[in-house]
Structure 1
């Protein structure tokens, strides 16, 4: 993971997938399932801008893949959920799930061009400069602040705490760069009230995990992280989760409700499938495309009440040695954006007891969720089957 990497994305993907296979204690020929969320927003060039299923299977010489999924809607959590179902139904024995991203510095979901046409809903926003994803999210965060009395000082706690985790993460982009409260508060605004440090950091990078059934996992060299709960966001009229491409076509005024609804419905399914409650969870890895996302996750998943998240994270609670650690690896804000794959990797490592200097004191059950505005999913990863 890094910026301006000279190694092509395809070779980075081969590195990550083969390393994951070796780490799991299996052989490449054992892999008979594969899933990814491949394309958006990198571009059209397979092997350098994104990595398709066909590219990986061909270039790694996988001969035994009998189940695969390549979703263009949702995010990497959708691919993980699909692999879990495939394993549960004996469609495959070992599935590799990866996310590969190539995103040059300065890239944007919606770059401004002089010849860009403001079609449809964009006619009411694009001519006035509202053309990027952060300009869509900022009003929802402003609404949260005005509803509940949150201030930028509260969100500084999250950015600074996550940077501390990144400083202990050798894979993080900001591994050698601390962040102070004063630096956060003096950072330039990108879309009021969201500043530079409220934004995820674009990187070139790949992460991969191996998934298998519990009976096979018990004989592998590393302790397994069991999926004991699995949840997907629900859909209802007027508050449909959007694909990520919706960010460039005019999401409309209901983003606040969409984020609430996504987190709440994932939470409902997590607790109903696991039999656990929020009070049973030791830590959480929550997708942070923008820093305020974490507020919506914490409240929607039930870790605190509505309008309480900005106070919930204060006084060291979300730190690695705190009462409820959050995004201990740095998150998208400080490790780098892999559309949630980093969150799933960190949750597994914490449960396995392999997070190194970031290891939390208790990781019996760790929640992970990604896809707050998309067709998101989440899981409870546990040290032992329930």
Structure 2
């Protein structure tokens, strides 16, 4: 029997902030995605009840497998169960999937064991080609509609933070974002890029010890602390100008700019960095693959396709940078590198500033690799 306090929320990423270790999360999240599952794992919940199918069969989503690997039980239950539970109820789940409150059964569901997850994912892989075809058709259709938005310059509001001529680091809570952000710590310390957090990406920066300079998004998953810590806040609005997130920002007593744009908030963040004159844009945790967008519930990626075409010359996608090399340098490597650096450094000093900049870049890359 699994016992714990039920925590309910219509949006998983908002519920995460209220979870405590040992809680039983009650979510309504069809095709549970990897980022949401990882956040549940980080919250150390005792179990997860999903009021929607955790694997619908549209595509092989990664969330259920992640929970299974972490040893967190996952129960798919009908939506009616949510109406019978209140936030804060003490509930119990038995091996058959029955849910009890105060000893009285209030509903039942199906446990997703590792074997069940594998079977359903295999069926989803068979369906994937048809889903890919629909995704491509939608992407091309919406790209034709939205191309004018990307072609025209984005009218930027006056920002306290200057982007011109600087590097910009755009952080999104996507796949492996924590490890990738940690791998870039030396780069952040050395180059001091403008730190742009996309919604919850602002909190990812704060968790890593870096206060965000700019927060961009619809404000549905960023903490009050991150909003108050940022120098600038840009609320992503619908194309008709409606900006539901602005109400929350104003309630905190701080000012904000509103930008209306199609597509995702991370697309808008890349455009803000580009139009602001950033010399280089480094992206962490951004979504760019088919599975990424299907996990976000999107039927196409038109705006992302167009935005990346526009900013591509300045964009460095740091996704997976933490996995490039996992070995540890041997003890004599730092000494060899230091000695080897003396010759080009001396030449650089003798021949001029351009070579000095090159040596500085090589040295920075070595420090990132060594973790200094």
The structure whose Rg is larger is 2
Give the structure-1-normalised TM-score. Answer: 0.23
- TM-score, normalised to structure 2, is 0.24
Higher strand share: 2
Q: Which has the higher contact order (CA 8 A, sep 6+)?
A: 1
